[in-house]
Chain A
Amino acid sequence: MPRVEQGTVVRGVVIVGLVAAALFGVPQIAGADWITTSTSIAIYAVAALGFGILYGRVGMISLGQIALLTIGCWVGTRLSYATSLPFPLLLLASGGITCAIGVLVGLPALRLSGLYLALITLMFAGATTIVLSVNDFPNGGGGFTGRSATGALTTSTPPVRRPSWAIADVAYYRYTVIVCAILFLLALLHVAGKPGRAWASIRESEPAALAAGVNITLYKLWAFALASFVTGVAGCLLAAQVGVPRAITFQTQDSLTLAATALIGGIYSLWGAIVAGIFQQGIPFLFQAQWGINPNFILIIFGAGLLQVLLTAPGGLADQLPKDLTRLGRLFFNLVVSRLREQAAAEKKAP
C-alpha cells in the first residue's frame, strides 16, 4: 500500500473540516441574506478558479471569465425553460456548452499572449454583454430560443428550477457548496497530475516545454476547456440561485474586478480562488448591506489591495496569510516563554 505523506493527511483533514464547516456551521450562524451571499461566494470562487487555472498555471491572461459565467448562466436558464432535464444534467450541459465556447475563445491564445490575449478576451466579455442586452436576456419565451412577446422580464417569467431537494435557500446553499467542492477537486486532480506539470512547463518556457514533448496546442486548449467547464457549471448554479437572471448582473468590468480579486487571493493556489470569491461577493455585501457604504469605494480598496499584494506578496493572501500567522504565532510563543522564564528567574531570586 503506498505511503501517504503527513502533509497530504493534514491538508485533507483541513479541507474536509472546512467543507463540513461550510455545510453545517455556516447555516447555523448565518441569516438568510448571508446564506444567499455565501452561495454567491462559492459560485464566484469557481469563476476565480477558472482564472487561476489559465493565468496562475499556464500563464495565459484571460479576462473573459465573467462572460463564460454569463454563458453558463444563460445556457442553464434557457435549458431550464426548454427541457425537463434533472438539475445535475442541466449543470453538466451548461458546463459542456460553455466549455465548447471557451475552447473557441482560447484559440487566439495559441498565437497571442500577455496584453494582446487579455484585450481579446476582454472584448469577448464586452461582446457577450452586448449580445445579452440585444436579446433581452434571459427572455421568458418557451423553448431554448423562444422569445416573450412582452420583452425581457415579465411577471410571468418563470424562475430557473432548482433540484427538488434543494428548493429552500439553505438547502440550495449546501448543494452549491458540494458542487463547487467537486469542481475544486476536479481542478486539483488536473493541477497535481500530468496536465498540471505540462502547464507549469508551458508557463516557465514554451520552447523548453516543446523540447520536453509537451503538445502546447493541446494543453493550452485543455486549460481553456477546464476553466470554461467549471465556470459554465458555476453559471448554471448562479441561474438557479437568482431564479430570474438579469443582464445587468453581468457587467464587462466585473471581469477586471474578478482578475484583481483573484490576484489578491493568490493565483498560484486553489485556496486563492476561495479568497477571491469572498472579496468579489462577501466584501461588497458587507459594505453595502451591512455597513451602508457606497459599494463603488470597493474598487478603490481592491486597487490598493492589488498594489499591496503585487509589491509585497506576489503569491497573494492565500500564500502570505499562513506565513504571517505562523510568524505571529512564533512571536507570541516566544513572548510567553520569555515572560515565563523571567518569572521563574524572579522567583528563584526571591528569598
Chain B
Amino acid sequence: MIEVQDLTVRFAGVTPLDDVSVTFPGGTCGLIGPNGAGKTTFFNVLSGFVRPARGAIRGFGEDLLAMADFRRARWGLRRTFQTEQAIEKLSVFDNVAMIHEHSAAKRATRQADVLDAIEFVGLDISPKAKVGGLGAGERRLVELARAVVGKPRVVLLDEPAAGLPQAETEQMGAVIQKIPEKFGALVILVDHDMGLVSDCCETTAVLDFGKLIASGPTAEVLRNEHVMRAYLGTEEEL
C-alpha cells in the first residue's frame, strides 16, 4: 500500500502537485489526468528526482521520502519512463540483470529470475539479442521485464504502451494485469488509453492541475462528472 499525505511540489511559481492525499491500496491502480496534471511529477517524487515542498509518502509502512534516491530500487521501487530507457548497447539479459544486481534479490537466483522475467513479459527472442536491434514493442517489453525483476514492491508504469499498435497494447495490458499476482507488487499505471486503464486497474486516482479530483473504483471514477469535464471539457461518458 502507498499512502500519500498532503503532498505539495513547487517549481518556482508553479505548483505541479498541490496538497494531494491519496491511497493506492494494492493490485493495479490507475493514475490518470490531462497533460500537465502532475502524474509524472508524482512518479518523480516517488523516485526521488524531485523533493516535495511538504507532505509524506509511506510505502508499506516505510517513509519513502527519507530514503536516498538510489536506495529506493533496492527497497523494491521500479519504474518505466515515457520515453524508452532500455539500454541499446546491452543484451536483453544484461538489461534485466543490471536491475537485479542493484536489487535486494539474491545473486544466486539472478540467472533464473532474469530469464523468468523475460518469459513473463512474453518476449520471444534470444536473451542474448542486443536491445538496439529490437522493435519498439519488444523494447517496451524489455522495460517491463526490467520493472518486474528482483523482488519489486511498487511498479510505476509511465505510459508503457505509448505509441504501440492496438494488438501490442492489449498484450502489454494482459502482462500488466498479471504483475500483482505473480510478484506480489503494487502497480501504478499512468496512461491516456482509457481502455488499457479500465482493463488493468481496479482503482484509479485522477489528477487535474496538480489537484486530486477523484479516486476510487475505476468504473466509478471514469463516470465521475469532474473527471469527464477535466478530460474532455464535457460531461460525455469516457
Contact = CB atoms under 8 A, between A and B. Distances in A.
- Do chains A and B interact in one complex? yes
Interface of A: 194, 197-198, 200-201, 203-205, 207-208, 210-216, 268
6 contacts: A194-B98, A198-B98, A201-B87, A205-B81, A205-B85, A212-B98
A213 B99 contact: yes
A200 B49 CA distance: 20
Contact of B102 (A207, A208, A213): A213
Interface in B83-104: 85, 87-90, 94, 97-99, 101-103
A203 B87 CA distance: 9
Nearest to A5: B128
A204 B81 CA distance: 13
B132 to A, nearest CB: 11
A204 B88 contact: yes
B48 A210 contact: yes
A52 to B, nearest CB: 13
B211 interface: no
Contacts of A201: 87, 98
Interface residues of B, number: 26
A215 B74 CA distance: 11
B97 A212 contact: no
A214 B90 contact: no
A212 B81 contact: no
Interface of A is mostly: helix
A213 B102 CA distance: 5
Contact of A208 (B77, B81, B88, B89): B81
A200 B102 contact: no
B162 to A, nearest CB: 16
Given A207-B49, A210-B70, A212-B73, A197 B101 contact: yes
Given A212-B98, A213-B74, A200 B89 contact: yes
B81 A197 contact: no
Contacts of A203: 89
Given A204-B88, A216-B70, A211 B47 contact: yes
Contacts of B99: 212-213
Nearest to A197: B98
Contact of B71 (A204, A205, A213): A213
A297 B146 CA distance: 50
B87 A215 contact: no
B69 interface: yes
B140 interface: no
B226 interface: no
Contact of B81 (A198, A207, A214, A268): A207
B81 A200 contact: no
B88 A212 contact: no
B87 A210 contact: no
Contacts of A207: 47, 49, 81
B47 A212 contact: no
Contacts of A197: 87, 90, 94, 97-98, 101
